[in-house]
Chain A
């Protein structure tokens, strides 16, 4: 490794560390700003003042704010995020427990996003300026403009109440709860591994609708990005050459142009995945999906400081990570930077 390359890595690590410290500080500020009384959340509205004082001290709230900050940093760095009031478990184990639900939802959603978005984008790019292109633009802009919680509610009425295609709430029919072994935490996989076909069907029915609606935004995002990447490729010389050579249009598009945008697409998908985590906050509320988004909103509304700080920090970390991943993917696969 050359000296300059070495320095740039050090610099990059430094920047990440500073960003992390910033994340920590910001979550601390958010936690302390909360007008919600965390003690009250523990003792309930009818406790008397001696109980209140006792818990107040146990939670370390009687210390000066900078001492609290110092303790907070120490705790965070040693991986101790405290216990959530809401659940009584350590926050870390809570997050690990709810995460598979969200990852499963987001993964199915990203499948929708890629499965619908990429063909849409390619179609628009190859039909540029024609009606199909305009329609695609309108569709993708609709995807950007819909309030997902609203579409979720409307979807629930149509697909559960009227048509009975979808499941209502949660990840699986309630009667299947605990009736199959949890190997991975992903119900679609676990039910199959347990050989419980009925449970698998129930899981599919429950995940399809929320994932589809959650995926709307990424359909738009991926579709638009694909279109713009494809346009760039299609205007290149080599495409013209290929056409002159008499290759079929299909093979020009898919074998030549599309192959070249794969790397770019990959980085975009990583970012879209981060966006899904955000949308999950609302979708999980509507569909009673017991995942990270619901955990975050519950703890926010409850004033559960430990849980809020750790969750916000966690999602910040995921975003930083996805960004790094997207950069790294680009560097790794892109012929120009290699």
Chain B
């Protein structure tokens, strides 16, 4: 026994002597994030903020938005662009000095091919372009090579050119691919989809060095980058699911940037010396959605009651800090068209009366679906407890994104605490289209990409207004149209109640300079530097 104890003590001594420590090397940037949503790096298939972040560093877009003023468009691959007089086309002039990582020159051919590819493959991100009226059939007519370094994009219908430009700058499908390289790896006519799932063919400031799915992504700097060549030689992204671990590691300087930490950990880092917390508004909204397919919830009074049973203030004060900020309109904050807050509040008494008026004085049973992670599950638990006070007995069904949003797509849910509504582009359409538009409410239509269809909420006037506003070039008229949509939605007590607008919170070591989180999730690391201690 004694020998055993001595043995254990010995091991402990060895462990102690091993505890010398150093910060991360100054030419490396080490980022920890959850990689469970990074499934494919193919820009045509890649959904989610995390992939947009990775790809924004491997690829380039025609134009970019200034992260500090998201309505300001900056040149990137395209050095200049011109909107046609009739507002039906845009012509882009490309830089002629860009080379892909493979060494191939980037030309107009690559640009046109990259966009056609997204529609031809018809994967997840084709939706963005289809919403603007581009289709597999018309895309090759609308996009044309006007010269080696000139591309013309004609509109399929009257469109607000701003919206097209914003989409080109913010959609994760708008990256320009190395056509020749991708085609070398084409298999069974998949336009290189399978190869691009785990490889990259871009011209970005960083080159993909190693990707082990669900484990790590290593990028090295691209010395031939057309812009400022990054000072960071190597970016290491590591899959880390535990917020606590992220916090411990960033405090100790084992990692430089931590993305996706939970609130208690962020809060504790606020007071910590070596770490800075960055928060950026994103356009996506947190909402409580009800299904109009559910007989009880289809009742306007019941929905009014539920709208008054959400503890907006409590949720935003105690659950949402660092996840979102108070907002109740279906259009994100800060746009000219955004109406002032309607100031819905928790009014339990009134809600109980409304429920009685609707004929449910004894309440009813229902379910709340929510992702099994913060803040969704926390909001769901809070909502459950509020609903209980007006007699509604709600069971929580928590699950993965797949289980929660799968049920929503099948229109087989009652209440969902969710997040959605695009909002990448600084334009009301990018919120209203995914959230409220519902051109065909039949089950057979399966317009599963519209939350309007998923909730079964349809208002023809709103449909008209959204469609009309997109083709309106006059800012003031357009703003008025969008304002009308919001007031109709308020009177109508739509099926989906936004309660918060997403903010993204990132913890960054103070040695790291120039890390600027992008509102459209396209955070570019090319200007990041690390101060030597």
Interface string of B240-275 (1 = CB under 8 A from A): 111011001100101100000000000000000000
Residues in B whose Cβ lies below 8 Å from that of A288 = 239-242, 245
Residues in A whose Cβ lies below 8 Å from that of B36 = 86, 298, 301-302
CB <8 Å contact, B406 and A37: yes
Which A residues from 11 to 40 make CB contacts under 8 A with B? 35-37, 40
The verdict on A160 contacting chain B, using a C-beta distance below 8 Å, is: yes
| Cβ of A239 to closest chain B Cβ, rounded Å | 22
Residue in A46, A85, A294 whose CB lies within 8 Å of B124: A46
| Cβ of A174 to closest chain B Cβ, rounded Å | 5
Q: For residue B15, which residue of chain A has the nearest CB? A: A165
CB <8 Å contact, B15 and A88: no
CB <8 Å contact, B15 and A205: yes
* Complex: A45 Cα to B45 Cα, angstroms: 12
Residue in B32, B194, B209, B255 whose CB lies within 8 Å of A88: B194
The verdict on B133 contacting chain A, using a C-beta distance below 8 Å, is: no
> Number of residues in A with C-beta < 8 Å to the partner?
62
Which B residues from 444 to 473 make CB contacts under 8 A with A? 445-449
CB <8 Å contact, A36 and B400: yes
Q: For residue B4, which residue of chain A has the nearest CB? A: A119
CB <8 Å contact, A88 and B47: no
Interface string of B379-413 (1 = CB under 8 A from A): 00000000000000000000011110110110000
Q: For residue B42, which residue of chain A has the nearest CB? A: A88
Residues in B whose Cβ lies below 8 Å from that of A89 = 198, 213
| Cβ of A263 to closest chain B Cβ, rounded Å | 25
Residues in B whose Cβ lies below 8 Å from that of A88 = 39-40, 194, 197-198, 213
| Cβ of A40 to closest chain B Cβ, rounded Å | 5
* Complex: A94 Cα to B422 Cα, angstroms: 33
The verdict on A310 contacting chain B, using a C-beta distance below 8 Å, is: no
A51 touching B248 in the complex, CB below 8 Å, given contacts A87-B213, A175-B30: no
| Cβ of B191 to closest chain A Cβ, rounded Å | 14
The verdict on B24 contacting chain A, using a C-beta distance below 8 Å, is: yes
Q: For residue B123, which residue of chain A has the nearest CB? A: A51
CB <8 Å contact, A44 and B1: no
**Interface 9-mer from B63-71, B214-222, B299-307:** B214-222
| Cβ of B65 to closest chain A Cβ, rounded Å | 20
A54 touching B405 in the complex, CB below 8 Å, given contacts A86-B39, A88-B213: no
Residue in B39, B40, B254 whose CB lies within 8 Å of A174: B254
A49 touching B447 in the complex, CB below 8 Å, given contacts A37-B406, A86-B213: yes
The verdict on B210 contacting chain A, using a C-beta distance below 8 Å, is: yes
Which A residues from 44 to 83 make CB contacts under 8 A with B? 44-52, 54-55
Residue in B127, B248, B400 whose CB lies within 8 Å of A161: B248
Main secondary structure of the interface of A (DSSP, over half): helix
CB <8 Å contact, A168 and B215: no
CB <8 Å contact, A302 and B245: no
Residue in B213, B236, B447 whose CB lies within 8 Å of A48: B447
The verdict on B524 contacting chain A, using a C-beta distance below 8 Å, is: no
Residues in B whose Cβ lies below 8 Å from that of A85 = 39
* Complex: A46 Cα to B244 Cα, angstroms: 31
The verdict on B504 contacting chain A, using a C-beta distance below 8 Å, is: no
CB <8 Å contact, A37 and B402: yes
A36 touching B123 in the complex, CB below 8 Å, given contacts A46-B449, A123-B1, A288-B245: no
* Complex: A166 Cα to B18 Cα, angstroms: 9
Which B residues from 162 to 200 make CB contacts under 8 A with A? 194, 197-198
* Complex: A134 Cα to B228 Cα, angstroms: 70
Between A43, A85, A116, the greatest number of chain B beta carbons within 10 A of the residue's beta carbon is seen for: A43
Residue in A43, A46, A116, A119 whose CB lies within 8 Å of B434: A46
Which A residues from 84 to 133 make CB contacts under 8 A with B? 84-89, 94, 97, 115-116, 119-120, 123, 132
CB <8 Å contact, A177 and B236: yes
Which B residues from 418 to 437 make CB contacts under 8 A with A? 420, 422, 434
CB <8 Å contact, A302 and B238: no
A41 touching B239 in the complex, CB below 8 Å, given contacts A48-B130, A86-B213: no
Residue in A41, A51, A294 whose CB lies within 8 Å of B122: A51
The verdict on B16 contacting chain A, using a C-beta distance below 8 Å, is: yes
Residues in B whose Cβ lies below 8 Å from that of A204 = 18
Residues in B whose Cβ lies below 8 Å from that of A45 = 47, 401, 405, 408-409, 420
Residues in A whose Cβ lies below 8 Å from that of B30 = 174-175
Residues in B whose Cβ lies below 8 Å from that of A169 = 238, 240, 242, 245, 249
* Complex: A51 Cα to B119 Cα, angstroms: 10
Residues in A whose Cβ lies below 8 Å from that of B198 = 87-89
CB <8 Å contact, B123 and A43: yes
CB <8 Å contact, B249 and A168: yes
The verdict on B12 contacting chain A, using a C-beta distance below 8 Å, is: yes
Residues in A whose Cβ lies below 8 Å from that of B532 = none
| Cβ of B208 to closest chain A Cβ, rounded Å | 12
The verdict on A173 contacting chain B, using a C-beta distance below 8 Å, is: yes
CB <8 Å contact, B448 and A174: no
Residues in B whose Cβ lies below 8 Å from that of A208 = 11, 15
Residue in A120, A166, A285 whose CB lies within 8 Å of B15: A166
* Complex: A303 Cα to B402 Cα, angstroms: 8
The verdict on A246 contacting chain B, using a C-beta distance below 8 Å, is: no
Residues in B whose Cβ lies below 8 Å from that of A295 = 214
* Complex: A204 Cα to B20 Cα, angstroms: 13
Residues in B whose Cβ lies below 8 Å from that of A35 = 403
* Complex: A301 Cα to B126 Cα, angstroms: 26
The verdict on A156 contacting chain B, using a C-beta distance below 8 Å, is: yes
A298 touching B245 in the complex, CB below 8 Å, given contacts A43-B123, A47-B127, A205-B15: no
Between B3, B39, B48, B420, the greatest number of chain A beta carbons within 10 A of the residue's beta carbon is seen for: B39
CB <8 Å contact, B403 and A36: yes
Residues in B whose Cβ lies below 8 Å from that of A120 = 4
* Complex: A239 Cα to B149 Cα, angstroms: 92
* Complex: A36 Cα to B399 Cα, angstroms: 10
5 nearest CB pairs, A to B: A87-B213, A44-B47, A88-B197, A49-B446, A165-B15
Q: Mind listing 18 A-B residue pairs with CB under 8 Å?
A: A41-B402, A45-B409, A46-B127, A46-B449, A47-B448, A84-B213, A86-B39, A88-B198, A88-B213, A94-B213, A119-B3, A132-B1, A166-B15, A175-B30, A288-B239, A290-B214, A295-B214, A302-B36
Which chain B residues have a beta carbon within 8 Å of chain A's beta carbons? 1, 3-4, 7, 11-12, 15-16, 18-19, 21, 24-25, 28, 30, 32, 36, 39-40, 45, 47-48, 122-124, 126-127, 130, 194, 197-198, 209-210, 212-216, 218, 236, 238-242, 244-245, 248-249, 252, 254-255, 400-403, 405-406, 408-409, 420, 422, 434, 445-449
Given contact pairs A120-B4, A175-B28, a sample of 9 additional A-B residue pairs in the complex whose CB atoms are under 8 Å apart: A44-B124, A51-B124, A85-B39, A159-B15, A164-B19, A164-B252, A165-B16, A177-B238, A290-B239
